[in-house]
Structures are given as C-alpha cells and as structure tokens.
Amino acid sequence: MRGQRWVATHGKQFGFGLIPGLITLVLYAAALVALALWGTDFVTWATPFADDWSSPWPGLFRGFLTAVLFALALLLSVITFTAATLVIGQPFYESLSEKVDRDVSPDGTAPESGLPLWRELLISTRDSLRIVARAVVWGVLLFALGFIPFVGQTVVPVIGFFVTGYFLTEELTAVALQRRNIVLRDRLTMLRSRRMLVWGFGTPLGLAFLVPFVAVFLMPGAVAGATLMARDLLGEETREENEESEADDNSVSR
C-alpha cells in the first residue's frame, strides 16, 4: 500500500511505469488467443495414436487435453507475467526504483550498481530465467496435485497462492537489490529469512494479479513497494524513520 500511495502522488512515474505492463499484456493476450484458436489442432497433431480409437473417445480425450493445456498456460502466465514485464521494462522500473530510493532516503541518494545498462539487462534476464524455471516446476507440480480429490481443490490452491506470492516478491525486489549488487543466491537467502513479510507482500499482490488488467495498473506501485521492502530487508532507514528517530532523541534530551 505504501508503494501504491507513492506512485499515486507521483503521477508521471505511474504513467511511465504502465508502459512495460501494457506491452507484456498485449504479448500474453496474443499468445493465449492463439492457443484458444489453434490449441485443438496442436493437440490433434500431438496425439496421432488416438486417431484409431472408436468414437467418441478421441474427441473427449483431445478436448480434455486442450482444456488442461489452456489451464496450464493461464497458470504459467500468472506466474511468469511479472518476470516477463520486469525483463521488458528493466530500464523503466530501474528508473522508478531509483526515484523511490532518492525520495525516501534521508540523504536523497540512491544506490547504483555501477554496471552498464547492457550488463544489468543480461544479469536481470539470467536471474529471471532461473526464477521462472523454479516457478514452472512448482506450477506443474501444483497443477498435477490439483487432481487429488478434495486436497487438490482446497489445500493446493492455497499453497499455490503462497508460492506465487514468494516468486512475485523475489522478482519485484530484485530491481532494487540487484542495483545494490546483491546476487540471486543472497537475495533468496534474505527472503527466506523473512517469509512472513514476503508472503504478506506477495500473496495479496498475486491474488490481485488474477483479475484481468489489474496487474498492469498495480505494477508501478508494486515496484515502488518492493523498493521500500528492499530497504526494510537491508535495514536502511527512510527519511520518515530518520525524522522520527531524531524527534525521539530530542524528546529524550529534553
């Protein structure tokens, strides 16, 4: 909520941060529409062994596989949307994150990686692919567990939301933490040490991202909030906290 409030009071940064999400949304929507139009043809091509089955089994079998394929694509699109948006919008979100740091930092400065843009993009893409690979493994596992009666319809979705929240938080905080030259392994260790904070940030965001188009409008604020969270994880004071600390010190002195 602090991140969303920050972009609400910095309208230019909010509009600037919408661009990558809109680009990613168009690309994902095109892919899902293509899958909806030609998914049946793909499944038919991939299952030639069903051609010799007696009616109506080929149609039922292929219809089921098409539905499963589309559902899996939807699940993966939710899990990977943030990663794809961050890769596409690296320069946009890097600039937004720096402005948040400068705005809340007591000395008005922001950490800089000192790396050229191409190097930052390379590291960001590499780390995002690693996280997406982990997310895909979890997504496939949870999708398979979803077929277990009762457990698949109750426990598994809850676990899925927490898993999604964890990976969302990692991807979003990576913008600020990578600028501080903190490598992926150390970032994951840091997040595992504050699981409740990570789930509290990422899980509600993951639920909100399930609503069509919401992810696009929440992404700028999510990046801003993740920057504030990165400062919290590293114990970096904000200007507001610094002022409160000074006020308390003055009160004690009196």
Q: Taking the domains of the chain in order of start, what are their residue ranges? A: 2-19+81-235
Structure confidence at residue 224 (pLDDT): 92
Structure confidence at residue 253 (pLDDT): 59
CA distance 239 to 108: 9
What does each of the 254 residues of the chain score in pLDDT, given as a tens digit? 889 999 988 888 888 888 888 888 888 889 888 888 888 888 888 888 888 888 788 888 888 888 888 877 877 777 677 778 877 887 888 888 889 999 988 888 888 877 777 787 788 778 878 887 888 888 788 878 877 888 777 888 888 889 888 988 988 898 889 888 888 889 989 998 999 999 999 999 888 877 767 878 888 999 999 999 999 988 887 777 655 555 555 665 56
Structure confidence at residue 242 (pLDDT): 58
Cis upstream peptide for 56 (omega within 30°): yes
Structure confidence at residue 197 (pLDDT): 92
Contact 220, 18 (CB under 8 A): yes
Q: In the chain, helix, strand, coil percent, each to 5?
A: 85, 0, 15
Residue 10 CA: distances (Å) to CA of 6, 17, 204, 216, 224: 6, 11, 23, 17, 11
Structure confidence at residue 249 (pLDDT): 57
Number of Cβ within a 10 Å radius of residue 213: 11
- The closest of 68, 63, 62, 67 to 46, measured between CA atoms, is 62
